Structure 1
Amino acid sequence: MRILSRSHAWPILGPAQIRQLEPALQALSPTPLMQSAGLACAQLALAVAPHAQRIWVAAGPGNNGGDGLEAALHLHQWGKDVVVSLAASERSPADAQAALQRAQQAGVCIRSGVPTEWLRAMAAQDLCVDALLGIGATRPLSADLRACVQAMQICAAPVLAIDVPTGLNPQSGQWLDGDSGGSLCVQAHHTLSLISVQAGLLMGHGRDASGQIWLEDLGYRPSQHHLAPLAWLNAPYASAPKTHASHKGSHGDVAVVGGEGLATHGMGMSGAAILAATAALHAGAGRVMLSLLSGPASDSVPPDVMQREFNRLELEKLHVVCGCGGGTAVQAVLLEVLQRSAQLVLDADGLNAVAQDRPLQNALRQRANLQGASLTTVLTPHPLEAARLLDCNTAQVQNDRLKAAQELAERFQCSVILKGSGTVIAAPGHAPRINTSGNGRLATGGTGDVLAGLVGARMAQGLSAFGAACAAVAQHGQVADDWPQEKALTANRLARRLA
């Protein structure tokens, strides 16, 4: 058992894949998998709550509840005061029924319903174990499950969830009860993933609801069990020093095209393009050029950044970042950018322009035919921009972020960064990556422009589109994670911290 670490490249499997694996894993072990899972849960319970006297296990009717019953058996035998609330069902799986019989024979106290008075006596040193719903949960909670969730929310003791906190969709990280589900979800302090971590723990609301994620693989070895994963955890960014014999031409030229002027709509957006250029500069691009669609040069541009008129850019030789603060002005240059740019990061208003213009969509697809867009092009949408490109709504994107990112990648034959909680990086021919660095401090204006400039710099330094996307997203989030708590994080400060 281990803490799930960003430095550990672990495959992410779905419920069907885990069920496919279980017979093979069982064949390797003389102990039933449910008993092994229950023992692991009990051991983790002692590790995270070593002074607990009272432990409440809320057990559902399926295999997740069976894991909880097996854990309760061990904790009872180890001298803990354990009470199980069991949501029984005549259709419980055979393994769960066997776990119930074992717990009963061991003398574990098993009740129906919430033991309200007993819970009131629990203290912060005690523990609740959420074993209500497992990895197949897709429907809103029943009344008895809601009662258990609400009891955990008001209990003084912390919560250890098995597989996934109840109320959270294990695949999407969204609430099972829709928009109101936040009030009907277990907020776990620890979550124990069995065999493989579920995607929903790493995306959406899952990152807040899951607490510290632990992994017990139960014998699963990716190198031995050849099973294509839904996704992989994104690896941390590892910087490489510039060689002594290098020069500015060794690290590529980035051109940032964007920044609509104040006169167009009464709101100047040149700052977005300047942020992207600043990020590319501090991330180590050899030279950075800025072409502001607002026209006149800006005094706020860093002196290290060269300003160029758009018609003076040799796009065929450049790594172009287009769209940051581009407004409607970007439409006038976007077709040329799509047709001529050697490598391209398309962000913000560049994406919006493509979403509403079929000729631009065709030009984006043609990049794949002409020069392999999956190797030369990165799209960086947030969920609303992704929805516009896919002609759907934001909820549909958020309900299956892996699918949405992969569909965008296939549709436009590009690498795609679907931003948000648990950013997804996808590309044709690659299993998606889910990034777990970063935090809510990135939810401020301009940080997306910084990411676009950072991707451009990594491409200029020789990484493929997909490799640059993975590296930039990991680094972007890590800078936010390392940011001093006492200092406000702004996009400008973020851009200047890159290296």
Structure 2
Amino acid sequence: MTDHTMKKNAASIPHSIWPAGDLKRIEKEAADSLGITLYELMLRAGEAAFNVAQEQFPDARSWLVLCGNGNNGGDGYVVARLAAAAGIQVTLLVLESRKSLPEEATQARDAWLNAGGVIHAEDVLWPDDIDLIIDGLLGTGLTSAPRDNVASLIERANAHPAPLLALDIPSGLNAQTGATPGAVIQARHTVTFIVLKPGLLTGKARDVVGQLHHHALGLDAWLNGQESPIARFDASQLPEWFTPRRPTSHKGDNGRLVIIGGDHGTAGAIRMTGEAALRSGAGLVRILTRSENIAPIITLRPELMVHELTAESLDESLEWADVVVIGPGLGQKEWGKKALQKVENFRKPMLWDADALNLLAINPDKRHNRVLTPHPGEAARLLNCSVAEIESDRLLSAQRLVKRYAGVVVLKGAGTVVASAEGETGIIDAGNAGMGSGGMGDVLSGIIGALLGQKFSPYDAACAGCVAHGAAGDRRAAQYGQRGMLATDLFSTLLRVVNPDVIDTKND
């Protein structure tokens, strides 16, 4: 696959996400409520995937279908039977296994055989003219690396020039965590069924899912009556957060924000945080920093109020402020430590980022009025573990951070996870790889800080801020591409994103 950026039809992807451990229960309860069998659901899943395959690859006339020994393989049998009935040449391979097929998959296999289909062993020679590969190998039950024979088949499929379409989830991708403990299918398209799984949206998902399609298999009405424990947030929700302002609102209504940081050599970090806050609608933004940073910052952005960080200016600013953001360019020396010691007793909403997080890792505490925004490296220091452990289960890592530090945690990365001490959990479905450059986190801190000042709850400020940040990056990438994107490039598109009522009537 040449483009690993995950794409989707936002209108067709639900905003509810369910833990992988709930999938079997949901499937059975939903089917029972409608009086249909699990085999009927399998038939619907196979038909949904077949339709996507035909829509996306109408000229593909020779399909290779890879089936495992679970219900994911059963979906594959259904796809194969429908394809053969449509006049497509189908080669179906099945993994060797001592385990018997589940009842529904057995019915699907028998229907394939009764229709004249042939089942080949996994080591059969592949036809030369294969132009589409259907992945029905492993499904959502994966918890460890695929066995050697499965891994070899996955690697062979990935190396083949034909595009790959995965059923429910790419084989080798953990449905709960998005981790890839071993070989994993590099899908061009993934058709997922009934509900969204967390592993499709975070961890390594964007590298392997390709274009995501969702089909509820006719269970929409039942699912709409259930409350999912995890939410998906994307740019389609921006109008819900960023409503038009009252005509009589003034700067005092929009929050007084103090941003603290910018030690020697890091004036850029604090300036980007400040400007991002202004572009996100903050009423007044005051920066406390090193004296040598004052003139350059004011020259670049005169709307910022910039002062030297002293004990007196900090005391006065904390009295004045509605919100405090601390950390960008703060450093870990005595200058930054003293500021953080005073800020930690601030009773109004605050956001800690960057070196504030590194200092917090040394002296942990709990604050319920605080938003923490670690990247995986900072999260690893906060939890005294490795980055690999953080990335192996990003949802669990965010929840562990909340348990230890309270408040709201934003675990940044591809598929940012937001978690609160009240048990709310969300995955941010916005942003792109072009945003993997210096300063992007400083911009995010400014956005979230501004929203806190505009009376967003800490959790809503974190979710809306992350979506606005990612959507600004996506708009920029759509214009100019991802490579070479700068954090300051987001300011112009950010202005569009936080004004969704005019977003479609202006050119960036």
C-alpha distance in 2, partners of 1:444/1:458? 23
1:157 aligns with 2:162: yes
Q: Residue in 2 aligned with 1:320? A: 324
Q: Report if aligned partners of 1:283, 1:454 keep a CA contact under 8 Å in 2.
A: yes
Work out which of the residue numbers 364, 382, 391 in structure 2 matches 1:389: 382
After superposition, residues 90-239 of structure 1 pair within 5 angstroms as 90-91=98-99, 92-118=101-127, 120-122=128-130, 126-177=131-182, 184-221=183-220, 229-236=228-235, 237-238=238-239, 239=242
Distance 1:15 1:8, change over 3 A: closer
1:405 aligns with 2:405: no
Distance 1:7 1:423, change over 3 A: farther
After superposition, residues 90-489 of structure 1 pair within 5 angstroms as 90-91=98-99, 92-118=101-127, 120-122=128-130, 126-177=131-182, 184-221=183-220, 229-236=228-235, 237-238=238-239, 239-261=242-264, 268-293=265-290, 297-301=294-298, 302-310=301-309, 311-312=312-313, 313-318=316-321, 319-328=323-332, 329-340=335-346, 342-357=348-363, 361-362=364-365, 365=366, 367-368=367-368, 373=369, 377-483=370-476, 484-485=479-480, 488-489=484-485
Q: Secondary structure of the residue that 2:213 maps to in structure 1?
A: strand
C-alpha distance in 2, partners of 1:444/1:406? 26
- Give the superposition deviation at 1:294: 5.8
Q: Residue in 1 aligned with 2:46? A: 38
Q: What stretches of structure 2 of length at least 5 have no aligned partner?
A: 1-6, 496-508
Letter in 1 for 2:428: N
- Give the superposition deviation at 1:454: 0.6
Q: Report if aligned partners of 1:259, 1:294 keep a CA contact under 8 Å in 2.
A: no
**Cα deviation digits, residues 414-471 of structure 1 (max 9, x gap):** 1111100000111122431101110001100000000000101111111111111111
Q: Secondary structure of the residue that 1:297 maps to in structure 2?
A: helix
Q: What stretches of structure 1 of length at least 5 have no aligned partner?
A: 178-183, 262-267
**RMSD after superposition:** 2.1
Letter in 1 for 2:158: Q
C-alpha distance in 1, partners of 2:221/2:386? 35
Q: Report if aligned partners of 2:12, 2:213 keep a CA contact under 8 Å in 1.
A: no
Q: Secondary structure of the residue that 1:279 maps to in structure 2?
A: helix
1:494 aligns with 2:502: no
- Give the superposition deviation at 1:225: 6.8
Q: Secondary structure of the residue that 2:294 maps to in structure 1?
A: coil
Q: Report if aligned partners of 1:6, 1:233 keep a CA contact under 8 Å in 2.
A: no
Q: Report if aligned partners of 2:417, 2:428 keep a CA contact under 8 Å in 1.
A: yes
- Give the superposition deviation at 1:29: 4.7
- Give the superposition deviation at 1:314: 2.9
Q: Report if aligned partners of 2:142, 2:174 keep a CA contact under 8 Å in 1.
A: yes
TM-score scaled by length of structure 2: 0.87
C-alpha distance in 1, partners of 2:107/2:493? 56
C-alpha distance in 1, partners of 2:222/2:108? 31
Distance 1:70 1:454, change over 3 A: same
Letter in 2 for 1:109: V
Q: Percent sequence identity over matched residues?
A: 33
Q: Secondary structure of the residue that 1:314 maps to in structure 2?
A: helix
- Give the superposition deviation at 1:114: 4.4
C-alpha distance in 1, partners of 2:13/2:194? 15
Q: Secondary structure of the residue that 2:175 maps to in structure 1?
A: coil
C-alpha distance in 1, partners of 2:43/2:487? 49
Q: Residue in 2 aligned with 1:265? A: none
Letter in 2 for 1:351: L
**Cα deviation digits, residues 362-407 of structure 1 (max 9, x gap):** 3xx2x43xxxx2xxx2110011111211222211111111111122
Distance 1:204 1:222, change over 3 A: farther
C-alpha distance in 1, partners of 2:53/2:200? 19
C-alpha distance in 2, partners of 1:156/1:460? 52
- Give the superposition deviation at 1:115: 4.2
Letter in 2 for 1:17: D
Letter in 2 for 1:418: L
C-alpha distance in 2, partners of 1:140/1:38? 26
Q: How many residues align?
A: 469
Q: Report if aligned partners of 2:291, 2:307 keep a CA contact under 8 Å in 1.
A: no
Q: Report if aligned partners of 1:293, 1:330 keep a CA contact under 8 Å in 2.
A: no
